[in-house]
Amino acid sequence: MKRINILSVRFALEETVLVFVTGAVLYFAIETVWRGYSHISMALLGGLCFLSLYLLGRFFPNMPMLLYCILGGVVISLLELGAGEIINLRLGLDVWDYSSLPLNFRGQICVLFSFFWCLLCMPANVLARFMRTRIFGCSE
């Protein structure tokens, strides 16, 4: 039977929480500056998105930036679609609605914002790499 080092589990939990909270706070702030307001669900989605980007870079540290941004944009768009289906369509909170934008799907995702997510992946990658190497001591 394999033994689990409780210190490494605690460290992984602390790392996960700090990365999630960083993404939540930063995305809430970005959206507040962009739209003038945000919703708590966007902080939760932002945390999940940043954690996903963090893990993408951790598992594939040598991935070219262009590929990272494209994959990151796809991941964020899929998370946004899932969240939109629950938050906007099922719960009726109407936090966002892209139905007036071209090439949207059910008003929850659209090509324009998927492109924005790809662009946002560049600074997210820099921050995630800084956190992995300088804060958590992971080698790249």
Tell me what the mean pLDDT of segment 117-121 comes to. 98
Q: What's the pLDDT band for 139 if we cut at 50, 70, 90?
A: confident
- Average pLDDT value for the chain: 93
Give which of 101, 82, 98 is closest to 90, Cα–Cα: 82
